[in-house]
Structure 1
Amino acid sequence: MKKSLILLSILTLAASLVSGEDRPNIVLIISDDQAWTDYSFMGHEHIQTPRLDRLAAESATFRRGYVPTALCRPALMTLATGLYTHQNRTSGNDPADTEQNATHARAAGKTAKELLISHIDELPTLPQLLGEAGYLSHQSGKWWEGSYQRGGFTHGMTRGYPKPRGRHGDDGLKIGREGLDPVFDFIDEAEEQDKPFFVWYAPFLPHTPHTPPARLFDKYKELVDSEFVAKYYAMCEWFDETCGQLLDGLENRGVRDNTLVVYVTDNGWIQREDRNGYDRHSKRSPYEAGTRTPIMFSWPGKIAPSERPELCSSIDIVPTILAAAKVTGPKNLPGLNLLPVLESGKKIRRNTLFGESFAHDIADIHNPEASLLYRWVIEDEWKLLLSYDGRPGKMRYPPDETAPLLFNLKSDPYERTDLADSNPRIVKRLARKIDRWWPVEERTVKGLD
């Protein structure tokens, strides 16, 4: 009996050590509509990002990072679930007014918008899984899936659809633009309870409306001719300032050394010079200006700062965070747990990434393929785009392409020269890779025999 009690005490003590001291705090920083080039550490001529430059210097930094789907809601859903868009079925920002969606909504007794949100109820989420291991979690900024509680957060700012234009975060969109007090209050509460914490920091920055502080706008007006571009540049630096405030808050509270900080963007952006909008080959597109992003992992004493030349995807973030938190994730996660290679410095044994692009408005809530516009693959320096005849939706960006496009990203990082005609074997080989990754059955691929 005494031995049993001693063994039970030892096991209880071990569990408590894993659940508390051995689990790092986690901060996920998500930029909103920012090109992969638009940081000083990525070589931008004008934009200054000293706080993120410092984070990059302290991180394992992947300059060739990607998001599988370059649109706000699908990109965030991947970060919440660790699944590709065709797996979590949230392929666009809003349900289109189609007969398919109306039929699904009637059958479920819900509106189409609520039915779309209910996808989150069917999947284990990152904050939910961390919560089961004793984490407190806080949502701020962009969040499309109803209230923060729907996503498994214990704390948060988004209430869920309080007004027509609040569908993507409502009160949460104040973070950064109106300070970071809600995040710091949460961290203080978690520290008081001696709980590990997870922070989802996804401010509405540098996203429109481009309303930067006058001091930053005036600075960039002196550097560029277009006021639209100057405002966007100023928004990037404003976002950088808020990241510095967040990181300084961790330092000031003495918790930075036990905090894993992860950085990524939801999608890219090329600011138009003539109006407040973006180039169609950036956000929402499968091109580099839409899908590419720096991805950073910073954990003092655990992950040595380094420049990582390998490919990395946001699909890898959930399994890596779960591993750092010593949480066993779902077996169906397609991304890599990068923690072992981040800690060891060894090379990632993968040379291929996949992605997909869909219409802004979802033609069929239960069938992502109905809205499919592109599938793409990157293998080493090669990138293949296949375009499809999915329904574009009310915000029209159907593919102009009528044949596969092949680019060599090493010699042509801005995808100006299509090499498909001169490399048919590479096209067919990469197309077969795409089909093995996600075979489609209904949509017709354009121009591929």
Structure 2
Amino acid sequence: MVGATTVFFQAADRSVAQQPPNIVMLISDDQAWTDYGFMGHPDIKSPHLDKLASESVLFRRGYVPTALCRPSLVTLLTGHYASTHGVTGNDPSPKYAARGSELYNQRCAKLISYLDRFETVPEALGKLGYLSHQSGKLWEGSYQNCGFTHGMTRGFPQKGGRHGDDGLSIGRKGMAPVTQFIDMAVKEKKPFFMWYAPFLPHTPHNPPQRLIDKYSQGDLTPTVAKYYAMCDWFDETCGELLNKIDETGQRDNTLVVYVTDNGWIQNPAKNGYAPRSKQTPYEGGVRTPIMYRWPAKFAAADRTELASSIDIVPTMLAAAGAPIPDDLPGVNLLPNLISSKPIERDTIFGEGFAHDIADIENPEASLLFRWAIEGKYKLLLTYDGEVNRYKSTHPRNEKRPQLFDLEADPSEENNLAAEHPEVVERLVKKINAWYPVNERQVLSAF
């Protein structure tokens, strides 16, 4: 159920309501926050996203609350944390119902039904006359079920409808569905919302040979070279989409939003990700650049504040002149983007759950982490939620609170919890106020 609503307008910007912008979401899939030219990577080439970054309000210290694709994407659809929207992992645990069984399918359907408790972004924009298009990753049934007017994903319970099905071909097999949709919306003179969430640079890492060759000249291992080539390939597809917006004359009045669903650090020795990346609350799992570009409304800037993907939904709704539900926890950043004023917030939060959901009605059964970042400090709290598959090196095995100084120690090597118990205590109180759980958190004896 959607709560009471408020709408942001500055007196000088009431034209936003009469001439709503197109809104385009570019969502990378499994990419580390470091893996772009504009973020300083020495090898990966990302000229199109570099250009977008130079034209955007760029938050280099951006984060997603959950380091796993499905819950992260539902946050982008609803504006709520996973512990609220209820989709905490990718799948129901097969330990309690075999995949494909009637009970397993019932649980899959129930997870998708959680979306019905919220008004999604495409549903809200549809009330304002927007056309909307889905391509790429989508877990919550068909594109129609999520409120899109157009799209590619058939979704569960259709055959193969797990996490995007037909939509996963976008980018990898051309961009025609998106470019044709833009042409149609422009011809009909309708504002449009686009969800571009390609299966890139996600595995399988099988980029075009020309890109493999590009990254196989130095001393990179084959798995790393292929991953770098995938990042390059993703960048190329973003360039094609952004060029289409320019060619159709929509650049000035299009809000482009960029974010990654979760991080990824490529294992140099084999296919797959390294520790402290995907599915963990370390920087390699939750950090991402976040960008907003709307040439008609605000200038480019390189911002130093903390930003979170939890802010994206209220910011997009505000840009379109749509009501913003009072219960959304994120910040509407539109006033800050227009005025360049700092965000009035000193702490952001996140949570981590198991990939397979032990109990779809009890998020805490799969809870692994709660975390907060306040300025330079980051605190991780660890829990005993059920995990069916993790290695002995999984960071969850560290039971004590973990406190890091991200300025002095960006790779999170040194746990300062014992040295700064007052910081731990302060951040634990903030975390408990944000997301209270049963009293399982432990402030170890320092």
2:441 is the counterpart of 1:445: yes
Which one-letter code corresponds to 2:231 in the other structure? C
1:181 aligned residue (155, 176, 182): 176
**Matching residue of 1:120:** 115
Work out whether 1:26 is the aligned partner of 2:23.
yes
Distance 1:179 1:431, change over 3 A: same
Residue from 281, 285, 290 that aligns with 1:286: 281
1:431 aligns with 2:393: no
Q: Which structure 2 segments of 5+ residues have no match?
A: 1-14
Aligned in 2, Cα 1:313/1:84: closer, same or farther, shift over 3 Å? same
In the superposition, relative to structure 1, how do residues 100 and 390 fare at CA in structure 2: closer, same or farther (>3 Å)?
Answer: farther
Aligned equivalent of 1:200: 195
**Change in CA separation of 1:292 and 1:194 when aligned onto 2, cut-off 3 Å:** same
What is the match of residue 385 of structure 2? 390
1:308 aligns with 2:317: no
* Structure 1 pair 395–139 and aligned structure 2 pair: CA distance change class (3 A): farther
Question: How far did residue 121 of structure 1 move?
Answer: 1.9
* Structure-1 separation of matches of 2:133 and 2:402: 42
CA distance in structure 2 between the aligned counterparts of 1:205 and 1:247, rounded to whole angstroms: 16
In structure 1, C-alpha distance between the alignment counterparts of 2:343 and 2:418, rounded to whole Å: 31
Give the 3-state SS of the residue equivalent to 1:337 in structure 2: coil
Q: 1:334 aligns with which of 306, 329, 333?
A: 329
Give 1:383 shift. Answer: 0.3
Greater shift, 410-419 or 154-163, is seen at 154-163
Matched letter for residue 188 of structure 1: D
Where does residue 41 of structure 1 map in the other structure? 38
Q: What is the correspondence of 1:132-281 to structure 2 with a 5 Å cutoff?
A: 132-161=127-156, 166-281=161-276
What is the deviation of 1:378?
Answer: 0.2
1:364 aligns with 2:359: yes
Distance in 2 between residues matched to 1:285 and 1:164, nearest whole Å: 31
Q: Secondary structure at the match of 2:338?
A: helix
Q: Following TM superposition, by how much is the alpha carbon of 1:225 offset from its aligned partner in structure 2, in angstroms?
A: 2.9
Q: Determine if contact 1:297/1:303 at 8 Å carries over to the other structure.
A: no
- State the distance in 1 between where 2:158 and 2:47 align: 36
2:361 & 2:121 partners in 1: Cα distance?
22
Aligned to 1:374: 369
1:85 aligns with 2:82: yes
SS in 2 for 1:260: strand
- 1:164–1:387 CA distance, 2 compared to 1 (3 A): farther
Structure 1 stretches of 4+ moved >6 Å: none
Q: Distance in 2 between matches of 1:173 and 1:436?
A: 39
TM-fit CA distance, 1:441:
1.4
Name the Cα RMSD after superposition: 2.0
Structure 2: how far apart are the matches of 1:225 and 1:41?
21
SS in 2 for 1:374: strand
Match of 2:125 in 1: 130
Give distance in 1, aligned partners of 2:168 and 2:39. Answer: 27
Counterpart amino acid of 2:364? Answer: E
CA gap of 1:199–1:118, structure 2 versus 1, over 3 A, is same
Residue 414 of structure 1 and its aligned partner are, at CA, apart by 1.0
Q: CA deviation at 1:100?
A: 9.5
Distance 2:157 2:359 in 1: 25
Three-state SS of the structure 1 residue aligned to 2:242 is helix
TM-score where L is the length of structure 2: 0.92
Q: Deviations over 1:161-195 (max 9, x none)?
A: 37765411000000011111101111111122211
**Aligned counterparts of 2:358 and 2:128: Cα–Cα separation in 1:** 38
Q: Which string of whole-angstrom CA distances, capped at 9 and with x for unpartnered residues, describes residues 187-224 of structure 1?
A: 11112221100000000000000011111101101133
Bigger-Rg structure (1/2): 1
- Which structure has the highest helix share of the two? 1
**Please, which of 413, 416, 435 is the counterpart of residue 413 of structure 2?**
416
Question: How far 1:260 moved relative to its partner?
Answer: 0.2
Aligned to 2:56: 59
- 1:6-38 CA distance string (max 9 Å, x none): xxxxxxxxxxx876x510000000000000000
Which deviates further from its counterpart, 291-300 or 21-30? 21-30
Q: For 1:116, what is the secondary structure of its paired residue?
A: helix
SS in 2 for 1:273: coil
Q: CA deviation at 1:301?
A: 2.6
Paired amino acid for 1:429: R
Structure 1 CA distance for aligned equivalents of residues 171 and 97 of structure 2? 39
SS in structure 2 of the partner of residue 189 of structure 1: helix
Q: Secondary structure at the match of 1:54?
A: helix
> How far apart, CA to CA, are the structure 1 residues paired with 2:29 and 2:84?
23
Q: Please state if 1:403 is matched with 2:364.
A: no
The answer (yes or no) to whether the contact 1:362–1:393 under 8 Å persists in 2 is no
- Per the alignment, residue 6 of structure 1 pairs with none
1:12 corresponds to which residue?
Answer: none
The separation in 1 between residues aligned to 2:241 and 2:74, in whole angstroms, is 23
Q: Distance in 1 between matches of 2:180 and 2:257?
A: 21
Superposed CA offset, 1:207-255 (max 9, x none) = 0000111111011011333000000000000000000000000000111
Q: Which runs of 5+ in 1 are unaligned?
A: 1-16
Aligned to 1:10: none
Q: Displacement of 1:394 after TM fit?
A: 4.1
* Structure 2: distance between partners of 1:164 and 1:418: 47
Q: Answer whether contact 1:216 1:234 (CA < 8 A) is retained.
A: yes
What SS does the corresponding residue of 2:325 show, helix, strand or coil?
coil
* Contact 2:141–2:161 (Cα < 8 Å) also in 1: no
1:35·1:269 contact (CA, 8 Å) conserved in 2? yes
Instruction: State the shift of 1:115 in Å.
Output: 1.2
Q: Is the 8 A contact 2:57 2:299 kept in 1?
A: yes
- Looking at structure 2, the residues matched to 163 and 221 of structure 1 have their Cα atoms a distance apart, in angstroms, of 40
Note the alpha carbon deviations across 1:101-120, whole angstroms, 9 max, x for none: 99xx86xx961111111111
Count of equivalent residues: 428
Aligned pair in 2 of structure 1 residues 50, 81: CA closer, same or farther (>3 Å)?
same
